[in-house]
Structure 1
Amino acid sequence: MTQRIGDHENPDLPMAGVNSSLIQYSLNSENYLDQLVPLMKTALKSGTLEDFINELDDTTRIREEELQSLSFKSADDILASVESISKVQDRSADIQQHLQSVSQRLSSTGLELSEKKKILVSYKKLHSKINETTYILNSCLEVLDRTNKIVDLIKQENYYNALKKLEDLSNVHLPEIENFEFTKRIFNSIPSLRNLIQESSFSSLSNWLKNDIEKNWPHIGRALFENMIELNDDWKRQKADDPSLKTYRINSSIERCLRSEVFKSFDPLRNRSVKIDLTPVYNAIIVFQTLEESEKLRDDYNKEWNLKRERLLSQIPMDDINANGYGKQSVQSAFKNSKALTIFLQQLAGFLIMDKVVNSSTEYQLRTRQSTLDMYDSLVTKLVPILLNHVRSLTTEETLIDAKESLGIFIQILEDYDYEVSSLYKVLVTVFRSFVSIKTKEFEREYGRLTNEDNLMPVHVDSERFYRNVVAVCYYPFKYNEVPKTLPFSTIYPTTCVELRKLIKNIYVFLDKYYSDINSEVLVIIESALDDTLVNVILKDLKTKVNSTIREELSQSLINMEFFMNSVHEIEAQLNYSDESFLANVRTSSASTTGALIKLKSHKAFQEIRKETEDNLFALVDTKVNDLMDFAEWDWDTKQLNTNPTDFVQDIGQFLQMMFASTFSNLPHNIKSLLLIRTFDLLADHFMTFLKESPFYTAEAIANFDRDVTYIESIINSLNDAEEPEIAQNEEATSSVSLQSMFMGLRQLINLLREGDLDGFKEDSIRMRKFNTIKPDEAILFMKKLDTFQETHLNSLPSSPQPDSGSGTNHVKGHGNGHGSISTLQSVTGSGRFKLNYRAFSKNKEIQS
């Protein structure tokens, strides 16, 4: 069949393989006949039955061979099993004999076990009694152990755990030992132990206050001071790096936001200097809370803390404090020196900050907020007079600076911990007031030295460098810069300006640190100090000098006074608007609090003294002019013409030139102008008086008089031309018209007399243009005294009777009848439009009037 399949390439070969597999499968099943039926049907249908049968035969043959092979192997196994069974039987016999031996031994030991069981029962009873005794002993030991642990915890100051152990002990219920004497004593001692824990915890707290706190107050305070000093330095560096921060000071909101972390995390209890543990405080609080005795703890702690406060204050004498808490202004200070003050303030800072820190750390369970504030207010009420008394006793700049440093740091520390410091700040203001007083006294002494060295001569500038130095220190807006030149003031002005600048800088540098609130009181101190310096030192000295009868000294002192007076406003401007750092820092603090500006009142005092000085100067010049005019004398009868001004007029002119060109050359422009006008007006009055008082003068005398007046007028012109603003600004030069107007009346009268008649005067247009200052009666009066007029007019007039005293008609004394006289006068005066006093022609007394 195999050959057929191979020869004919039977396509069913795969099917044959499948049938072989199926035949194998069917033969392996229990109902293999049922399994072969479908295969047989398939072979019949496909015509491969023969193949199927062959395959079935092959399979059967293979199975038989396999079965035969297995049969041979099974026979060997059976033989081996028989041998093993034989061995097992032998072993079983041995075991049976052994079991019989064991059974015999068990029966022999049964009686022994029964006896031992009886013994075991008796032992169990004994063990139970032993266990009971052991339990009782352990319970006793437990009570003793707990008691001992409580005592040990108390000794270890672990009061809370001791209290918890005590509570646990009190809750133990052991009926077996309750009747024992020692347990009764232990349980009866529980209240005593509870009290012992309470007292020991507070005693520990008291010892902590004494040993850890009170003894460490100096160290705590020193650490606080050092930390605040470093904080000031750090903030100063930050402001130097960022100018926008210059208006903000220590403890301001901005500063606290920008504060370095090392300062924010500073702990006054744990730092380089001290390390204080608050465990005793917490132990006492929790113990008293557990015992429901918190109020007692608060009362006892407050008493203890108040004792610490009194002990701290007892370091300084309290005799200077009266019943109202205000100190007497005794000379004796409570502190020997600045170091003693610093040490005390450090201790006080440690005390106050510890109070605040401990209370805040314990959530104010020991002391309430109000208790803290009340104690602080009471302490400050006692402290402020003591500090004020100490500050008033300080007499040197160094001690005041030390006091400012100590008080300033102390106040900043308290302010940093939210204490109210306004009362203490007043002490700092008092320090500033004392410092200002010392600096003003130093200025007064220095000014006394400078004024003694002053030569009352104008300052000569011969170099640009010297000029720039003068301009830099003087409180004056200089205009001209060319050198060499002579400045109007003497050396006292620039040197005093230097000292004023030093004074102002010292004052403001002193204020720049620790004075966080530049209030109105501080500004008043500055204003008063500067006003007092300007008025009671500088102006007082100038007032003494301007009372001099020496024109040069008076003039130079007046010049200096003018510059000092103008400097007042410049000083105000410097204080209020200068961008100098030491001024700007303080001013920004002032603007942020009060918004006030410095306003000096001394300018008015300078004005008043200047007015008095001007009057004295005017009186002095008037006296000198009057003295010179006492020697004046004109020859009104002369017939000789002079070629030069008269000698005494030349002397007057030279004196005036010297006085105004030299002595008064540097006077303030307005004073010099007024003095010019006043002096020459006085001369004009004197000249007019001489002319009026003379009963007669020749034409030659009038010509000579005209030459003298022209000479004086030329001096006026020369002095006016020399006038120019030297240093002052916004001032106008003296008007030539103003000066010439003083001689206008005299000049018109001389011109009228030089004409020799009244023909031009009676013409309205001429009179209004050339003689508008001369009245008609005055023209007739003066013209009548002229010899040439008398020859041409008055000699031709008829005589007239003396006027009747009761008649209202006036007559002219002369030749001819009355009608002729009236006619002549009318022709002179312009048809009688001006009324004349004819009696004036005959009475010299009335002429003089």
Structure 2
Amino acid sequence: MPPVATEDTTKEASPVIDTNQLENLLLRDEDIFQTSLNSQDYLESLSPIIQDAIKANGLSELINKLNNIVKDKDEELTTLSLNSTEEINQCIDNIDKIHDESLELNKSLLSINQLLNKSVHELLVRKKNLLQRKEVNIKINETQIVLNLCIQVLEITNKIHELIKQKKYFNALKLIDEVTNVHLPKVENFQFTIKIYDSIPHLIGMIKEESFESLIKWLSLNMERKFDKIGDLIYENLFDLLDNWEALKKKNSNFLPYKLNSPIELSLRDPLMNLNLFNESSELNIDLSVLFDSILVYQTLGEIDQLSVLYNKEWLKKHNRIIYPITATTSSKTTLENLANFSTLGALQDYLKKIASLFTMDKHINLITKFQLRSNDLSNDLWESFITKLKPVLINFLRTHKFKLVQELTDVKDVIGNFLQIMEMNNYNILEIYEVMIILFRDYFAPLIILDFRLEFIESIQSDHYMPLIVDKKADFDNIIKICWYDKNAQKLDTSHLPITFPFSEDYVHYCLGIRSLLEEIIQFINQHYSYDQNELNNIIVNDVFEKVLSEERGVGISNDIEEFIEKNSMNKEITSQSYTNLEYYLYSVYEIGKLINRRLRIHTGIGIHNIDINDLPVLKAVENFKKLRKYSESVIFSMVDGKIRELLELVEYDDWLPTESNAEANYSIKDFAQFLENLFSSIFSTLPKSIRTLGLFRTYDFVAENFLNVLKDTVVYNRIAIGNFDLDVQYIEESMKRLYKMNGEVDGEGDGNNGNVALETTFTELRQCIDLLKLDNYDDFTKNPTFRMRNFDRIRYEDGLRLIGKMQGYEDLGDDPNRSLEDNQSFDQQSNYDTQSLFSTSTASKFAKFSSRFKKNVD
């Protein structure tokens, strides 16, 4: 044990050196004796111990311990050597035994070697036999392979024939290619192989022929025999698209101008709604394997162009069979008499459905085959050649059928229009069909609705009572306000109390309702199928319908019908007066009709009327027709009044111009005449505008005044009593005139006051001055005093005054030279006559200009 340091041990005491540790270090492994003492590893292990001993001044002690360790180890080694001698002897004995055994073993090996040599010889013999047998086995296997190849070729050949029978031509062709390029070269030395080689062209030809025949049969089965189903499916799809688009337009009025197949409709259409004849879920259940098989066969053979040529020829044959009976009229000598004729609309519809099936199937087959059989150009060319033959047939159908009802034309429009939409969906040129649609609209529909409207209008004007319309129900009043056009600002109606009287008669209500219905019927007609040439459509609507129906064309326009009706009833004061009143509203309505047409067309076609006036408002040319008609109606009224007045004036006789007694009152015939005038104006002019009533008063009394003046001028001789009686009659007429004028002002609630009354009285001025002249006590003031004459008798020419005075009974001549006074006053009279006529002309012009202005303002 190393000494243990105690507490008294000084800090510089030598460190304790562990002897076991040192021993283990010196003999740290079993190769210690093979390691040189100066090896770096050994020295590195020993150096710490030496360094510690040096530091502790215990190096001598370390050396002593090392020596003791070496001494102990030498003793152990000597003891061990002495003890191992016996073991060495035992080992030598064992080695001797092994030597003996090895000799025995050598003998055994020699014997084994002999046996092995014998076995090797036998093995060589067997190996030779084995090699011979392997060669035979290889030949057998090769023969078996060849036989299997031959069997495989025969089986494939049989399979090819079987596939041909099953009409799987492309698979058969693939097997021919396989057997030709893969299998036959392996067995080409056999006789049957040569025969198979020789039969391959025949098999390929048979596949081509039968493949094409199958394609033709496929066309017959899936087209000609299914045309009805194809047509039904096409039209059902069209109706679904139409219904869907109508539903969208109801939700959004901005879509109203756009029709089916327009870019807007196509952009909003659900792609799933597009027709697909070859859809697996389709009712047609068309198997496309035969079609694709034929294409693959010819494509594999590099003869797809030949298949296209053959297919086109066959398609043309089917096309010519299907489009019958049009093919019977394709010669250049075709006339209207030998065009194909369809007796009923149903027959035409069935034919067009069949044609739609043909050309739709053509485009769908082109698309599904990626245009390998037919191109779209060929399809379009075939369509162009067909439509040039179909167009005259459709026009002939319209020409040969007498359409009496609008619904009949609507049905025709739908039949042709549906066909047009289907062709357009398949990207065919539809301009020729659209021209037929335009012809149908312009030449058949427009005249028919004009005729229907005109017949209803004529019936309306003939059945009208020609009295202002009176309504006693608020609902009826509201309906009339909605239907009829009139200037609500200029003609305010008192709606607070019922019944309400309208200025116009029932005839005008029927007219307004008819015009609105006419426009809506037109819009409904063009709502579908009319997608193009909106300008032409609007031109037809405006010029070929409304302008014509409102025109003065005989047998077409209602302006002419109204004129003829007024002319026929020109002596019926109720009809003529109410007709004139109605015409005031007719004229106003024409302006409003232009606005209505423009507004409705912009909503439903996107384009309005092009005829715009200076106020930027749409105006119909028919405005001028109704202005002329109103003037004509006015002339009829005045002609009727003039005729009746003329008849009455003929009854007023002045036979006694030299009476002896003065009358106390006006002549009874004058009273009757005045009473008639009052009745005439109250019955005829009561419903007319104030302007024409006033104008009628002027014309009537001007005519009466002129008649009485002519009576006075035509009289040969009279006395003062006759002039006094005549003056009494004229005064009665003048008083009647004043009463009528007052009544005329009270009717409208307004008047011109004294100005209008004075202007009206001027119609009798000349007559009054003539009577006053003849009633003078002394005529010298007139004949000799120009100033007096111009102041009191400015309307009477000097010569006329002398003639009137000269007829007075008991009047003395002017003396020896009656012309002297005339000569003295000639220069003055010329000037005064000029001034008088100028004043008369100015007064008359001003009077009629004023009333014309008021009349025009009322009309406008």
* Superposed pair shares fold, TM > 0.5: yes
Instruction: Indicate the residue corresponding to 1:375 in structure 2.
Output: 382
Aligned to 1:822: 820
For residues 319 and 624 of structure 1, do their structure 2 counterparts lie closer, same or farther at Cα, with a shift above 3 Å needed?
farther
- Tell me, in whole angstroms, the C-alpha distance in 2 between the residues paired with 1:208 and 1:830: 117
Cα distance, 1:480–1:300 mapped onto 2, change above 3 Å: same
Residue aligning to 1:3: 4
1:204-256 deviations in whole A, cap 9, x for unaligned? 32222222233333333333322232222222333333333333332222222
Partner AA of 1:367 in structure 2: R
| CA spacing shift, 1:4–1:499, aligned 2, 3 Å | closer
Tell me the SS of whatever aligns to 2:4: helix
Q: Is 2:660 the partner of 1:652?
A: no
Query: What residue identity is the alignment partner of 2:606?
Result: T
Q: Is the 8 A contact 1:572 1:600 kept in 2?
A: yes
**Is the contact made by 2:642 and 2:700 (CA closer than 8 Å) also made in structure 1?**
yes
What is the aligned partner in structure 2 of residue 803 from structure 1?
A: none
How far 1:311 moved relative to its partner? 2.1
Deviation at 1:423, TM superposition (A): 0.8
CA positional deviation for 1:334 = 1.6
Residue 354 of structure 2 corresponds to residue 347 of structure 1: yes
Contact 1:397 1:438 in 2 (8 A): yes
Query: 1:126-159: CA deviations, max 9, x gaps?
Result: 2132123123213322322332343344345443
For the pair 1:574 / 2:596, whether they are aligned, the reply is: yes
- Who is 1:148 aligned against? 158
Q: 1:745 aligns with which of 766, 770, 773?
A: 766
Please name the residue that 1:508 is paired with.
523
For 1:586, the aligned partner's letter is H
Aligned to 1:482: 494
8 Å contact from structure 2 (residues 446, 544) kept in 1 = no
- How far apart are residue 380 of structure 1 and its match? 0.9
1:783-802 map, 5 Å: 783-786=805-808, 794=812, 798=815, 800=816
Which of the residues 381, 393, 405 maps onto 1:386?
A: 393
Q: State whether residues 725 and 733 of structure 1, in contact with CA within 8 Å, keep that contact through their aligned partners in structure 2.
A: no
- Is the CA contact (8 Å cut-off) linking 2:14 and 2:57 kept in structure 1? no
Counterpart check, 1:31 vs 2:44: no
- Hey, what does 1:528 align to over in structure 2? 544
1:627 to 637, 642, 647: 647
Greater CA drift, 12-21 or 117-126: 12-21
Alpha-carbon shift at residue 662 of structure 1 (Å) = 0.7
1:688/1:746 contact within 8 Å kept: yes
Greater shift, 185-194 or 115-124, is seen at 115-124
Q: Which residue of 1 aligns with 2:415?
A: 406
Question: Which region of structure 1 is more displaced relative to structure 2, 191-200 or 538-547?
Answer: 538-547
Q: 1:756 to 1:283 in 2, by over 3 A?
A: farther
Once residues 504 and 585 of structure 1 are traced to their aligned partners in structure 2, the CA distance between those partners, rounded to angstroms, is: 13
Cα distance, 1:186 vs structure 2: 0.2
1:780 matched to 2:802: yes
SS of alignment partner, residue 214 of structure 2:
helix
> CA separation of 1:175/1:283 partners in 2, compared to 1, >3 Å: closer, same or farther?
closer
How far, CA to CA, are the matches of 2:107 and 2:778 in structure 1?
202
The residue aligned with 2:513 is: 498
Matched, 1:472 2:482: yes
Q: How does 1:262-301 map to 2 (within 5 A)?
A: 262-263=272-273, 266-270=275-279, 272-301=282-311
Contact 1:269 1:275 survives alignment (8 Å):
yes
In structure 2, the partner of 1:424 is 433
Shift in alpha-carbon separation, 1:597–1:770, aligned structure 2, 3 A: closer
Q: Structure 1: any 5+ residue segments left out of the alignment? A: 801-810, 813-820, 838-849
Amino acid at match of 1:180: F
SS in 2 for 1:189: helix
Report the TM-score when normalising by structure 2.
0.78
- CA shift, 1:524, in A, is 5.0
Q: Report how far residue 688 of structure 1 moved.
A: 0.6
Matches for 1:57-456 after TM superposition, within 5 Å: 113=123, 116-172=126-182, 177-263=187-273, 266-270=275-279, 272-314=282-324, 316=325, 323=332, 327-328=336-337, 333-334=341-342, 336-338=344-346, 340-392=347-399, 393=401, 395=403, 396-432=405-441, 433-447=443-457, 449-456=459-466
Structure 1: how far apart are the matches of 2:68 and 2:517? 139
Match of 1:845 in 2: none
Give, as a single letter, the amino acid of the residue that structure 2 aligns with 1:497: C
Question: What count of residue pairs does the alignment treat as equivalent?
Answer: 792
Moved more, 598-607 or 59-68: 59-68
> Following TM superposition, by how much is the alpha carbon of 1:200 offset from its aligned partner in structure 2, in angstroms?
2.7
Letter in 1 for 2:152: E
User: Matches of 1:529 and 1:170 in 2, distance apart?
Assistant: 78
Higher mean alpha-carbon deviation, 180-189 vs 634-643, is at 634-643
Partners of 2:133 and 2:754 lie apart in 1 by 143
Is the 1:572–1:598 Cα contact (8 Å) retained in structure 2?
yes
Per the TM alignment, residue 665 of structure 1 is displaced from its structure 2 partner at its CA by: 2.5
Determine the C-alpha separation between the residues in 1 that align with 2:243 and 2:101: 107
Deviates more, 1:380-389 or 1:778-787: 778-787
Whole-angstrom distance in 2 between the partners of 1:184 and 1:604 = 100
Distance of 1:354 and 1:695 partners within structure 2: 103
SS of 2:223's equivalent in the other structure is: helix
Counterpart for residue 685 of structure 1? 706
Alpha carbons 1:461, 1:467 under 8 Å: kept: yes
Please say if residues 468 and 505 of structure 2, whose CA atoms lie closer than 8 Å, have aligned partners that are also in contact.
yes
For structure 2, the residue ranges without an aligned partner over 5 or more in a row are 834-860
Conserved? CA contact 2:149–2:183, under 8 Å: no
- Cα deviation for residue 375 of structure 1 reads 0.2
Q: Work out the CA distance in 1 between the residues paired with 2:746 and 2:320.
A: 72
Query: What is the RMSD computed on CA atoms of the aligned residues?
Result: 4.9
Give the conservation status (yes or no) of the 8 Å contact 2:566–2:575: yes
Call closer, same or farther: CA 1:125–1:33 in 2, change over 3 Å.
Answer: closer
Deviation at residue 687 of structure 1 after TM alignment: 0.9
Q: Describe the SS at the equivalent of 2:470.
A: strand
Contact 2:583 2:626 in 1 (8 A): yes
Matches within 5 A, 1:826-837: 829=825
Q: Distance in 1 between matches of 2:101 and 2:412?
A: 117
Mean CA deviation greater in 121-130 or 718-727: 718-727
What TM-score do the two structures reach when normalised by structure 1?
0.79
Three-state SS of the structure 2 residue aligned to 1:2 is: coil
Change (3 A) 1:137 1:435: same
**Conserved? CA contact 1:408–1:514, under 8 Å:** yes
Q: Is the 8 A contact 2:406 2:445 kept in 1?
A: yes
Moved more, 299-308 or 275-284: 275-284
Amino acid at match of 1:512: N
Deviations 1:615-635 (A, max 9, x none): 444443333222212222345
Deviation (angstroms), 1:822: 3.2
Give per-residue Cα distances to partners, 1:476-524, cap 9 Å, x unaligned: 4342212545444432232233233223222221111221125455445
* Gap change, CA 1:589 and 1:620, over 3 Å in 2: closer
Aligned mates of 1:381, 1:96 — CA distance in 2: 121
Q: Distance in 2 between matches of 1:830 and 1:27?
A: 185
CA contact (8 A) 1:576 1:598 kept: yes
Alpha carbons of structure 1 residues 175 and 465: separation in structure 2 relative to 1, 3 Å = closer
> How many percent of aligned residue pairs carry the same amino acid?
32
Cα 1:102/1:415, change in 2 over 3 Å: farther
Q: 1:308 and 1:58 mapped to 2: Cα distance?
A: 131
